[in-house]
């Protein structure tokens, strides 16, 4: 259980780092929460500066190398796949988009940690910080196997996004095979830009 004092510190830091941002949530708040976590758990380089990812397309928010000297719990630092960080509204943190399905399936095989910051009404009011151990178990074999299939189908631009035979229908039908799994897939492809992405989603309530 994360102590109240730590949550207040997180809220104060979010307020300081979010000044000038639009009210409500946007991607900037998610990035600021990563900075908050780095400060709270002392994720720093040798020169004392916060150690953050420079690349927004990185496979994980904090690699194992980045967190190995931090004040994070030992089991988190032991995760070969690193640490993924999410900031979500209260009530919306039960199904968590983890990112690219194939990338996260590969990370799941290695094992990584997931940290979820939960806010109430505004991102500056952090009410919970939860850690989950994301390591493939026997029941996850199917989602790992299906990840490549849905990834290849969605990213093949010869396949339409909408309609019969489209990527959304394909992902929806594939996900029906995962009704009892702690993971499933969602098609985040966009029209008319034709940008393609399918994400792995974690049902946090299964292990909460």
- Taking the domains of the chain in order of start, what are their residue ranges? 4-134, 138-206
Question: Which letter, b or e, does each residue of 73-83 get, where b requires 16 or more Cβ atoms within 10 Å of its Cβ?
Answer: eeebbebebbb
The whole-angstrom separation of Cα 191 and Cα 180 is 31
| Per-residue pLDDT tens digits for 9-51 | 999 999 888 776 555 555 667 888 999 999 999 998 878 888 7
Tell me the C-alpha to C-alpha distance, in Å, between residue 197 and each of 23, 101, 141. Answer: 28, 8, 21
Question: Which letter, b or e, does each residue of 26-47 get, where b requires 16 or more Cβ atoms within 10 Å of its Cβ?
Answer: eeebbbbbbbbbbebbebbeee
pTM of the model: 0.87
Q: Specify whether the CB–CB gap between 5 and 121 falls below 8 A.
A: no
**CA-based nearest residue to 112, from 144, 73, 84, 139:** 84
Q: Which of 73-87, 148-162, 188-202 is the least confident region?
A: 188-202
Q: Specify whether the CB–CB gap between 25 and 120 falls below 8 A.
A: no
Average pLDDT score over the chain: 89
Tell me the C-alpha to C-alpha distance, in Å, between residue 128 and each of 19, 156, 186. Answer: 21, 39, 25
The whole-angstrom separation of Cα 54 and Cα 82 is 16
Tell me the C-alpha to C-alpha distance, in Å, between residue 61 and each of 43, 58, 170, 172. Answer: 12, 7, 29, 28
pLDDT of residue 24: 53
**Average pLDDT for 105-132:** 94
Tell me what percent of the residues of the chain surpass a pLDDT of 70: 91
Nearby residues of 125 by Cβ (< 8 Å), 6 or more positions away: 11, 119
């Amino acid at each position: 259980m994360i102590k109240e004092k730590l949550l207040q510190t997180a809220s104060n830091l979010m307020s300081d780092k979010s000044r000038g941002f639009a009210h409500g949530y946007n991607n900037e708040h998610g990035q600021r929460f990563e900075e908050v976590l780095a400060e709270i758990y002392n994720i720093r380089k040798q020169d004392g500066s916060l150690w953050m990812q420079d690349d927004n397309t990185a496979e994980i928010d904090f690699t194992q190398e980045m967190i190995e000297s931090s004040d994070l719990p030992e089991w988190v630092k032991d995760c070969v796949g690193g640490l993924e960080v999410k900031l979500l509204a209260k009530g919306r943190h039960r199904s968590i988009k983890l990112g690219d399905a194939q990338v996260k399936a590969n990370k799941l095989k290695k094992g990584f940690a997931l940290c979820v910051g939960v806010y109430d009404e505004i991102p500056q009011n952090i009410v919970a910080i939860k850690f989950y151990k994301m390591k493939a178990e026997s029941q996850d074999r199917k989602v790992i196997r299906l990840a490549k299939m849905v990834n290849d189908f969605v990213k093949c631009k010869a396949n339409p996004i909408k309609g019969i035979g489209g990527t959304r229908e394909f992902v929806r039908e594939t996900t029906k095979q995962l009704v009892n799994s702690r993971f499933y897939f969602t098609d985040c492809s966009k029209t008319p830009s034709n940008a393609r992405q399918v994400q792995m989603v974690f049902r946090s309530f299964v292990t909460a």
